[in-house]
Chain A
Amino acid sequence: MELFIDITLLTFLCITALAITVIRKLFCAVMLAGIFSLLSACLFVSMDAVDVAFTEAAVGTGIATVLMLAALNLSHSREKCPPYQPLLALLVVCTTGAVLVYGTMDLPAFGDATAPIHHHVAPRYIEQSQQEIGPPNFVTSILASYRGYDTLAETVVIFTAGLSVVALLGIRDRRGGQSITTDRSAMKGYLVLRVVTKLLLPFIFLFALYVQFHGDYGPGGGFQAGVIFASGVIIHSLTLGRDRTLKAFPQRFLTILATAGVLLYGGTGLAAMVRGGNFLDYSVLGATALAGQHLGIFLVELGVGVTVFASMTLMYYAFSYRKEA
């Protein structure tokens, strides 16, 4: 059964990828890319990577598609026929692919439990992380503690992306000139949509909070929660109008939030140093090592969530305000 699901998903993935190469309508290509990442999220679930699947679904299918559509809105939506036959490209790709296939010859078979990858570093995470760190979700333990520094860098990456997009596109606050009632971006005529959005929003935000604080026990964590929170704000902006959203979440507030998230993460690491540990060594933060780890993970996950939410929303603002500016 597992094999059947695996093969079906992989086949769908191949078809989608090929469709992306031939299709000329960029709108369709963007939607297909969204489908591609949704399919790969399903594949990740079938390969036991639930956290990755959650993130891929939220990011690849959600945010990336929204940003691509926003960018399409700012430019052309049809691709021109390439003026030449890309034979050289085909040659490069085939060679690269052949080298890679050659490289997999010596890899252990798929799903082989005796492969070296499962036998050196990983067993400690599975066997001891609950005694050393606590959360039953091993991914959370590794992400926030064993390899917490990678996650700090990752938080700074998304922060950097937010900065870069704002620096490139700029966000112009037009509230001064226009009152809320004349905001054209609001979906005035769609009463059902507006009512449903208003009803849904509290639940979206509640779900985001659940994902944020339940990441220790199940799939989820700061990153996914931040994305869900941001998508709630995006829905708000799409149906109720940009200006109202900007009033609820002003740009300056989001910038401070994004900064605060990074500083919270870094500050947790510094606090550990002040208390005599190494950078990001949460064990020294609490009365016992486990309590310290618990507190540390809580704080850094919060930092991640806040930064991701604020940066994603800022990026969306930048794209959505560009058009009429």
Chain B
Amino acid sequence: MDSIPMNVSGHFNYWVAIFLMMTGFYVVISRGNLIKKLIGLNLFSTSVFILYISLGKIHGATAPIASETFHLYSNPLPHVLILTAIVVGVATTAVGLALTARIYEQYGTIEEDEIRIKDESL
């Protein structure tokens, strides 16, 4: 169970999700552009959603809506949690974008380093 080669096929999904998460995380912390940062945050959280949904999947199962022909359903609880998380994500993005728009009006730029220079010159 413990050896890595056996895990590869079973954990492939998780690892790709982690790779995507880290790409998003990298965009957030390495980029100075505010909109790019928000895109990175979106990427980061969407990839976490992929991880959650992967955890809820069962091989050979079907979507969790009761029907006569199926008896094995994937776990519906992660789906519910992620529905909530998606809403939280878009809410945060919207507030972030509103802040960006105001920052552009006030500073004339949305690059972090230029904003810093304008603040220090005062």
B66 touches A130 (CB 8 A): yes
CB-contacts of B15-71 with A (<8 A): 15-16, 18-27, 29-33, 35-36, 38-40, 42-43, 46-47, 49-50, 53-67
A97 touches B18 (CB 8 A): yes
A interface majority secondary structure: helix
Known: A26-B35, A29-B36, A86-B30. A47 touches B101 (CB 8 A): no
Q: How far is the CA of A165 from the CA of B79 in the complex (A)?
A: 28
Residue of A nearest to B100 (CB): A71
Task: Identify the B interface with A (CB < 8 A).
Answer: 2, 4, 7, 9-16, 18-27, 29-33, 35-36, 38-40, 42-43, 46-47, 49-50, 53-67, 72-84, 86-95, 97-102, 104-105, 109-111, 113-114
CB-contacts of A233-259 with B (<8 A): none
- The count of residues in chain A whose C-beta lies closer than 8 Å to any C-beta of chain B is 96
Inter-chain CB contacts under 8 Å: number:
290
Known: A49-B56, A74-B101. A67 touches B94 (CB 8 A): yes
A157 touches B80 (CB 8 A): no
Enumerate chain B residues within 8 angstroms of A47, measured Cβ to Cβ. Answer: 53-54, 56-57, 74
CB-contacts of A26-74 with B (<8 A): 26, 29-30, 33, 36-37, 40, 43-44, 47-52, 55-56, 59-60, 63-64, 67-68, 70-72, 74
Enumerate chain A residues within 8 angstroms of B89, measured Cβ to Cβ. Answer: 59-60
A96 touches B73 (CB 8 A): no
A278 CB-CB contact with B under 8 Å: no
Q: How far is the CA of A143 from the CA of B76 in the complex (A)?
A: 10
Residue of A nearest to B97 (CB): A71
Enumerate chain A residues within 8 angstroms of B27, measured Cβ to Cβ. Answer: 20-21
User: Shortest beta-carbon distance, B31 to chain A, in Å?
Assistant: 7
